[in-house]
């Protein structure tokens, strides 16, 4: 059974801290909405027997969005 991906656990951030960041950053807010939509697509594809290639493509797209979010929350150190 497909399970939603836990973005906040991956980012090592609490829901409250993440919400505070989203409230301040419109780009982060948009990326979070995009991530949630892509996660739903992945779950639907995993649950309805979509071929592995399509599921893997969706997972990679979700990962790219997560990486963008992570760069905002945890910017690389100079």
Q: 3-55: per-residue pLDDT in tens?
A: 788 999 999 999 999 999 999 999 999 999 999 999 999 999 999 989 999 99
Higher pLDDT, 55 or 1: 55
Integer CA distances (angstroms), 48 to 41, 55, 70, in order: 11, 10, 29
In sequence order, the 6+-apart residues with CB closer than 8 A to the CB of 29 are 22, 23
- pTM value is 0.90
Residue 61 belongs to what H/E stretch?
Answer: helix 52-73
């Amino acid at each position: 059974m497909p399970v939603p991906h836990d973005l906040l656990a991956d980012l090592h951030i609490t829901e409250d801290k993440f919400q505070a960041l989203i409230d301040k950053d419109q780009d982060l807010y948009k990326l979070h909405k995009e991530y949630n939509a892509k996660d739903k697509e992945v779950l639907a594809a995993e649950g309805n027997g979509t071929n592995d290639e399509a599921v893997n493509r969706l997972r990679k797209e979700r990962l790219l969005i997560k990486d963008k979010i992570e760069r905002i929350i945890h910017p690389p150190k100079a």
